[in-house]
Structure 1
């Protein structure tokens, strides 16, 4: 008798075997909606225990009274898909590395080639019932870490209390020119207009105060490689503040960049540290910035 037949409710599903069967045959019969490659991956990945002993043998004989524990939520190895990599997944969250040029969600002009649709198509191959929900976004031109939820409850938790769960965020970017300080803090009031353009205002009324810390990593005569840490979250925050600071992000035509040597906006969401919205576990996701960023500064 299963103690819990719904793996979406917890990390481990515990099953008491009622009749003799081979392991893989039991799995395919027990979970007809899960694709065979997924069941094999769970088995080969050491995510199944029988009587508290890990097993990877597909033909192991299960006997009546045996206890099987299946860990559905073991973080997956990086999965490479078109324009994104899955870097973490459990039954509540899916975290990806998004390439530049890919929309996070659908727009009026683009419905299919988006991060969320690619994830939906991928998850449907192993579980047709799987869902994906937007938590936050990265602009099309920006690469890096992006988090999605697997239920509306987790989505709502993160969106309503983002600052409670997300404890640290970093970006790496290349800006035009040589910044004068090795570290600085930018404090500005930002507003957006009906054309979705964000800009700095001197009037706090109706605006949002934004705070960005940066430190210099490397620079040349033409470019500076910076690490940004955000204390607030606002659309295009770094891009708008760096334009106002006099050093627009390289390739950012929208915010007055004059050069585009990388054919992209040179901004990368490199780290997110957060408390898991369900388990409370501290999670940290970190990616190395594209090598092209450092190479550009070295050549400049």
Structure 2
């Protein structure tokens, strides 16, 4: 774990390798505390184990199985059930679209896909109204969705319109070949002009709704940053993701002492006029799944974030 000076994986299938510090834990406890999804309960995990959705070294075991060092624990998460996903006539800012891929500029405050508590008003509901040819690999709740950005993060998001495109884009994400650059406003004066944060991220055992930098069950996470503008008590930065862990940028910037302005979970008391963190997915680049051409898109920060920057410049 280190900071060298010179930031959404799929949650459908999980795989963990037991480390020495977790040896002897009950399997249900181990999975619950290792899961990237903080809403997962121990009771749910026990149901998954009983239903055959969990394998240890390729075989089924009971919930009270005591994990051993180097055990390979694989979990296939059952599809969440929501009564019905309906197409909704919600305006979308389409940046690019063809027969394989659609790229959109998501507004702050919009959830990407339906989940308990957010069954409507999502990107998926809007996409289902906009086009009928979305990929089905991620199931009925997430048709076409290859990756996600947080509800209160704005910016570029790509979706697949067929399974062939989905497989290609997902593989590029897995290989870390997709270009993902974000613009963020962080607290305090970040003195180093650029750097790399290489620190594993896992769920916070003290608060399961949060993630943190941890060597205990954490997954490799790498974020590169470069300073764009300094305001004394704030710094505007560009961040490039090498990996895509849950809340990666928000966790990494908090870790180095510069949490995102407006972040209701990892930030400080509200000091900027934003409904959510000052984070925008500004650049998205990938190889087109059919043509093989590299495509790159860029969208400026939204008006609310620009207003905050203008206010800082006029002080």
Asked if structure 1 preserves the Cα contact closer than 8 Å seen for 2:172 and 2:178, the reply is no
CA distance in 2, matches of 1:166, 1:196: 29
Q: Specify whether residues 152 and 219 from structure 1 end up closer, same or farther in structure 2 by C-alpha distance, changes over 3 A only.
A: same
Q: Secondary structure at the match of 2:182?
A: strand
The structure 1 segments of at least 4 consecutive aligned residues displaced by more than 4 Å after TM superposition are 129-132
**Unmatched segments (≥5 aa) in structure 2:** 1-88, 136-142
Q: Secondary structure at the match of 2:131?
A: helix
CA distance in 1, matches of 2:286, 2:310: 31
* Structure 2 match to 1:96: 104
Q: C-alpha deviations, 1:81-115, integer Å up to 9, x for none?
A: 84630110010111100000000101101112001
Shift of 1:252: 0.6
Asked if structure 1 preserves the Cα contact closer than 8 Å seen for 2:134 and 2:162, the reply is no
Q: How many residues align?
A: 214
CA distance in 2, matches of 1:287, 1:211: 23
Asked if structure 2 preserves the Cα contact closer than 8 Å seen for 1:169 and 1:229, the reply is yes
* Structure 2 match to 1:294: 309
* Structure 1 match to 2:239: 228
**Residue 279 of structure 2 corresponds to residue 279 of structure 1:** no
Asked if structure 2 preserves the Cα contact closer than 8 Å seen for 1:185 and 1:213, the reply is yes
Q: Specify whether residues 107 and 167 from structure 1 end up closer, same or farther in structure 2 by C-alpha distance, changes over 3 A only.
A: closer
CA distance in 2, matches of 1:294, 1:113: 29
* Structure 1 match to 2:276: 264
TM-score (norm 1): 0.66
**Unmatched segments (≥5 aa) in structure 1:** 1-80
Q: Secondary structure at the match of 1:255?
A: coil
Shift of 1:196: 4.1
CA distance in 2, matches of 1:90, 1:285: 14
CA distance in 2, matches of 1:179, 1:193: 25
CA distance in 2, matches of 1:246, 1:123: 43
Q: 1:153 aligns with which of 155, 164, 169?
A: 164
Q: 2:196 aligns with which of 165, 185, 189?
A: 185
TM-score (norm 2): 0.63
* Structure 2 match to 1:210: 221
